[in-house]
């Protein structure tokens, strides 16, 4: 069971840390907002757009990484996992 709220987490991306917020409402992931990132334009930013959308759509962190942006994809997934761990407490 996830508690309603907004949870912040950070994970190491390709270039620097990626910080994001995950908003949970009614036991669902409602929103994932990237707060801070410094990933490669045209590559990492594709993962920063696609991965959060896929997680929200599937309501799961079990999503495919973006080809060519695996590190960024995995960082977003890792940070979302961390945020959801906080939401479970």
Q: In terms of pTM, does the model score above 0.75?
A: yes
Mention every residue, 6+ apart, whose C-beta is less than 8 A from residue 52.
20, 32, 34, 76, 80
| Domains along the chain with CATH numbers | 5-88 (3.90.1010.20)
The Cβ-side half-sphere exposure at 3, using a 13 Å CA radius, reads: 9
Q: What is the mean pLDDT of residues 44-60?
A: 96
First to last CA, the chain: 9
Contact 26, 32 (CB under 8 A): no
**Joined tokens for residue 61:** 């962190």
Q: How confident is the model at residue 57 (pLDDT cuts 50, 70, 90)?
A: very high
pLDDT for 89: 84
Q: Kindly tell me if the per-residue pLDDT of 22 is higher than 90.
A: yes
Q: Give the Cα separation of 58 and 48 in Å (integer).
A: 16
- pLDDT at 43 > cutoff 90: no
């Amino acid at each position: 069971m996830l508690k309603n709220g907004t949870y912040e987490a950070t994970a190491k991306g390709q270039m620097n840390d990626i910080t994001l917020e995950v908003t949970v409402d009614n036991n669902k992931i409602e929103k994932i907002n990237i707060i801070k990132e410094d990933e490669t334009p045209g590559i990492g930013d594709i993962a920063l757009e696609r991965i959060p959308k896929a997680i929200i759509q599937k309501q799961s962190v079990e999503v495919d990484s973006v080809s060519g942006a695996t590190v960024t994809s995995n960082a977003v997934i890792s940070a979302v996992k961390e945020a959801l761990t906080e939401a479970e407490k």
